[in-house]
Amino acid sequence: MNHGREETSWGRHSKGRHAVVIGGSLAGLLAAHVLAGHADRVTVVERDRLPEGPEPRSGVPQSRHAHVLLESGQLALDSLLPGFTAELRAAGAPRVGMPEDMVAWSGTWFRRTAPTSHIHTGSRAQVEQLVRRRVLANPVITTVESAEAVGLAGDASRVRGVLLRERGGTDGTADGAPPRQPRTLAADLVVDASGRSSRASRWLAAIGAEPPQEETIDTGQAYASRIYRNTSAHLGTEALAYWFYPNPSQTYAGGVLPLEDGNHLVALAGLRGQEPPTDDAGFTAFAARLPHPFLHEWLLTAEPQTPAYGFRSTANLRRRYDRRGRRPAGFLATGDALCTFNPIYGQGMSVAAMSAVALRDALADPRRRPTTLRVQRALFDASRQAWDISAGADRAMPGAVGNAVASRAVDRPVGWYLDRVQQRYVGDPVLVGPVFRSVLTLTRPLTALFAPRVARAVLFGPVAGTPSAPPMRAETTDG
């Protein structure tokens, strides 16, 4: 694969090659799974030790925070690893029907009508552990742990491997010893799945190649999360989850999600200058800033099971590897190393799985040769809609900064239309609500919102009434 001459085909019959994936995250594991069908050897390089069970990895601070698996991610995982969501359910991952099973606020309270989509709200560690067990059972795939990628081998025309430094003490050294010299792990293909902190731009520049342009939108949003044991009956309601979504006039966010072990994860968020604290009293007090006091009142009686953990790296960041440039064959970026989103929108795990499906389909396409640029564009397309949703929402938040904050004139009528969609979304269980929810969960394209029936309802239909107080019982159970 290349923009230039030394292209290497990774199509269906290209055996005898070695692929290296940098990063043992969900995106990296699923990329390795796909590449195992196109190579004799696939090596996953992970800077940490991979845990045996469903435990947060030390190098992934966001793993302790709220994660959801959208319906699009469930479909993608079942396509890649047949039966995966059934296995996830058997492991106890809660399945939350939207909107029936969640008490939710987004400027007004959502009606709790029959679900049109479902999300899994178990921990990220649980999902990763189940994927890891399935993927690493393949004898084609091996791991190199406690090794940090520090560069690329090759030149501007082709990547021929990755430079690794074994990790010991600080900065890859044993205590008191000089820095360890990197070694080269030769490869025909290197896939960067190292996450939002990827240093691939620096690596590419070091071999004479052109780094990708970067687009950023940053609201300065910060999170704090803590696990609690519920001492009452689901906050006094049969709902499974509770969530307050932010908007430009009400910028605090947070809620409660059920976990696989019967505990609940509480997440709180605020923008720059409004960051939630992580001390006991401060975390509880911060919940009183949300639009209704029921969560704060619940925290006064719930039993904390962990400390509160903070997280502040929430900028939307997209690296434009899809654009032409002086970049080498044999190098791809996927997952958060390609496009990372504000975690408030819960898209990351699903996009990682969708990207692996895009990689699989691009490599197996009999009509087109899988060049580097063509495959990279397929990966870019897999993340495009999630970016449009998260970046579009964050662009409107007060104090947002970054080189992609400015909107274009062409975006204004679309923004006006989407505002009308959102006004009708929370109270319409028949048309606008289900279609918009399918767009948000990435199972239907944004164009679905402009279908004639939907457009008529958005442009000419009334705004349906919504609850005036938290709907602690679902409409379907009220009869």
Comparing CA positions, the residue from 143, 466, 192, 424 lying closest to residue 321 is 192
Average pLDDT over residues 349-365: 97
Looking at the predicted structure, is the pLDDT value of residue 110 above 80?
yes
Please compute, for residue 76, the number of CA atoms within 13 A of its CA located in the half-sphere on the CB side. 31
d(CA 128, CA 13): 29
CATH fit for domain 18-65+130-215+316-392, picks 3.40.50.970, 3.30.230.70, 3.50.50.60, 3.20.20.70: 3.50.50.60
Kindly state the helix (H) or strand (E) to which residue 268 belongs, with its residue range. Answer: strand 264-270
pLDDT given for residue 9 in this prediction: 56
| Identity of the highest mean pLDDT range in 6-20, 207-221, 361-375 | 207-221
Looking at the predicted structure, is the pLDDT value of residue 479 above 80?
no
pLDDT given for residue 171 in this prediction: 47
Can you give the pTM of this predicted structure?
Answer: 0.93
Cα 207 to Cα 62, 102, 202, 222, distances in angstroms: 31, 51, 9, 36
Looking at the predicted structure, is the pLDDT value of residue 168 above 70?
no
204 contacts 319 by C-beta, under 8 angstroms: no
Give the least confident one: 9-13, 198-202, 219-223, 369-373.
9-13
Fold of 221-311: Alpha-Beta Plaits (3.30.70)
Average pLDDT over residues 279-291: 97
For 343, the token pair is 């975690």
d(CA 441, CA 463): 23
pLDDT given for residue 449 in this prediction: 97
pLDDT given for residue 62 in this prediction: 73
396 contacts 436 by C-beta, under 8 angstroms: no
Start-end of CATH 3.30.70.2450 domains in the chain: 221-311
Give the least confident one: 10-14, 88-92, 232-236, 313-317.
10-14
Looking at the predicted structure, is the pLDDT value of residue 267 above 60?
yes
Start-end of CATH 3.50.50.60 domains in the chain: 18-65+130-215+316-392
User: For the chain, what is the mean pLDDT?
Assistant: 91
